[in-house]
Homo-oligomer: A and B are copies of this chain.
Amino acid sequence: MTDPLPTGATIGILGGGQLGRMLSVAAARLGFKTHIYEPGANPPAADVAHACTTAAYDDTAALTAFAQSVDVITYEFENIPTEALDILEAIKPIHPNREALRISQDRLTEKDFLTGLGLNTAPYADIPDADALDAALVTIGTPSILKTRRFGYDGKGQARLKSDADAAQAITDMAGAPALLEGFVDFTIEVSVIAARSASGDVACYDPGENVHRDGILHTTTVPASLPASARTDAVLLAARILNALDYVGVMGVELFVTPTGLIVNEIAPRVHNSGHWTQNGCAVDQFEQHIRAVAGWPLGDGQRHSDVVMENLIGHDMDRVPELAAAPDTALHLYGKAETKPGRKMGHVNRITR
């Protein structure tokens, strides 16, 4: 491993959304500068960054100049084109590593990796075409979900199958993209473990948070989750196994289904995660700073929970509630400064300290 980055060094962040924005603030808290790389105009992260490059992921000159201007590179989303990563990695280190990206960019590869580690996932099958779906429905059955293997988020690129009769429409919904069929998991709750691993191999996990989704988008995360202590330990050990297997450096979000027979891994995200936003008001060191510490080769900070928190996402016109939320007790508001409010768009979140 390399020496820790000195304060004043520059951390390059691929992606200028709210995660990049909060990573940038955390980096500044440790005395780092940040440089954002983002194709879209006026990215939220640019408001709190030292520098911002507005360029596409196929712009070799811009990628090269960006990599040369920073000391280390990280990212706020996993769907970065491989060619861009090749250019960047030839110039500066990228954390979390390429293997973590490769695995999490493809749902099938991810499931194979997880089951290869001995972890449980939903039953799944590779669905390259309609025939494969017919065959998979025999073993996996319905209800089940057909998902594109790549580029899905917040419920996009997914089709639910209530019965075999939905198969044709589901295939149409995939629009020719390689897909994966996932069987139904009868879970009691969904929890996330936000896990961090430092360059020296230390692993620290935040308390699992309990997630509730609405319309396929995370609605609330509540800590502590309603989990028995044994399941809490299992969740943390499981997350640590994933990070260690990948020689991972940074923060990862691990979504788990809690079932009567044990924990099932839903998905992993090689980055800070929406379900970890509660840490901003529940811990001395939040997930964003923990990620920056890892990427910078620093020791992990203290992520012990000092307060119970309910995080609620503000989606689209939830922004109309801001005046009321701003005046509410025990409430910390976090807005992303997005110019336009759109239905389904994550505009901010609120952390309520409940104890």
Contact = CB atoms under 8 A, between A and B. Distances in A.
A24 B48 contact: yes
B48 A334 contact: no
B29 A333 contact: yes
A28 B50 CA distance: 14
Interface stretch (A80-88, A185-193, A217-225, A294-302): A294-302
Contact of A47 (B28, B293, B334): B28
A299 B285 contact: no
A30 interface: yes
Given A25-B48, A31-B336, A348-B31, A326 B353 contact: no
A333 B29 CA distance: 7
A229 interface: no
Interface string A297-324: 0110110101100000000000100110
Interface string A15-59: 000000100110011111110000000000011111000000000
A351 interface: yes
A326 B306 contact: no
B332 A284 contact: yes
B281 A298 contact: no
Given A322-B7, A339-B8, A333 B25 contact: no
A30 B335 contact: yes
Contacts of A337: 7-8, 28, 31-33
A327 interface: yes
Contacts of A323: 4, 299
B330 A7 contact: no
Contacts of A327: 299
A326 B302 CA distance: 9
B48 A28 contact: yes
A307 B330 CA distance: 13
A29 B331 contact: no
A16 B133 CA distance: 60
Contacts of A299: 323, 326-327
A33 B4 CA distance: 32
22 contacts: A7-B319, A8-B339, A24-B48, A28-B47, A28-B337, A29-B334, A31-B337, A33-B47, A34-B47, A47-B49, A48-B48, A281-B284, A284-B330, A284-B331, A284-B332, A299-B326, A299-B327, A301-B332, A301-B333, A302-B331, A306-B353, A307-B307
Given A8-B337, A284-B353, 14 more contacts: A4-B323, A7-B322, A7-B335, A7-B337, A24-B48, A25-B25, A28-B48, A29-B333, A30-B333, A34-B47, A48-B49, A299-B327, A301-B326, A301-B333
